Amino acid sequence: MKINFKLDWKNQISEYKSFLKLEKGLSENSVNAYITDVKKLMEFIVDIKKHPILPHLIQYKHLQNFIFYIAELGVSQATQSRIISAVRSFYKFLLITNKIKKNPAELLETPQLVRKIPDVLNIEEIDKIISLIDLSSEQGNRNKAIIEVLYSCGLRVSELTNLKISHLFLDDGFIKVVGKGDKQRLVPISENAAKLIVLYINNDRKKVNIQQDFEDYLFLNRRGKFLSRNMIFMLIKDLVTKAGITKNASPHTFRHSFATHLIEGGADLRAVQDMLGHESITTTEIYTHIDQSYLRETIISFHPHGKKEH
């Protein structure tokens, strides 16, 4: 009987996809990213190798050959690292579901990544961006509230677009944020951001014909539905261009700026980790590197011995 290797791989990947959704509670985007990367392994094993191997028979040497293959394609170290992470996760799933007795991906090593320090807007640049919002426009109050919430709460763009009115506890100075994997956290909100939200709710939002099932979403588009991620990107791109800022700014830049300014101000790293919703503090630690860079520039600029040798 001839084995359909591709079908067997697809069945295992399909079960893995259900596991990521139901057991791990990952978002649709995260699930699709994992599946896409595991399918790269499937295609390599089934289509490229002369003797295809079933998923549960894969050995470490096969995975090594796959990693060598993607490296030869010239993909970035970050992409290689992401693919290896997906393969590890897939084989961990096969292990805990008793499809395999030994995990062949356990010893896979990810390439050493040089962590890129993201662009950060300074306070003057953020103030300039906010000042350029046309409050007389139909969505002016909404747009100002969006920028202020992004910066003062450090939200991911997906967390902003999914923010609900029922998650606002403005009198207590907090909002409830639903982050990655549907994990919830309470984030402090500034008085200014809270006032702008109330202003938007009492003005711009009341003029929108809100569609069914979108009544609880805070930020709405003209059609009465929640805003897309792309709409937020375009809003920021337009404002940054008008402000004459040449930095590579996106919604995530406001999150980076939020964290950086807190660290510069002396905030505890664990507190910043909690507010950002990072699972690991090593993710938050990148902002200490930004702070160190800021301190170095300050010393060079202002210290008597910083500018020249003595």
Catalytic positions, please? 156, 180, 252, 255, 278, 287
CA angle, corner 81, sides to 268 and 232, nearest 5?
60
Q: How far apart are CA 80 and CA 84, in angstroms?
A: 6
Q: How far apart are CA 27 and CA 3, in angstroms?
A: 34
Asked if 29 contacts 180 with a C-beta cutoff of 8 angstroms, the reply is: no
Q: Is the dihedral of CA 187, 192, 198, 199 positive or negative?
A: negative
DSSP states of 95-152 as a string?
HHTTS-SS-TTTT--PPPP-PPPPP---HHHHHHHHHTS-TTSTTHHHHHHHHHHHHH
DSSP assigned state of 228: P
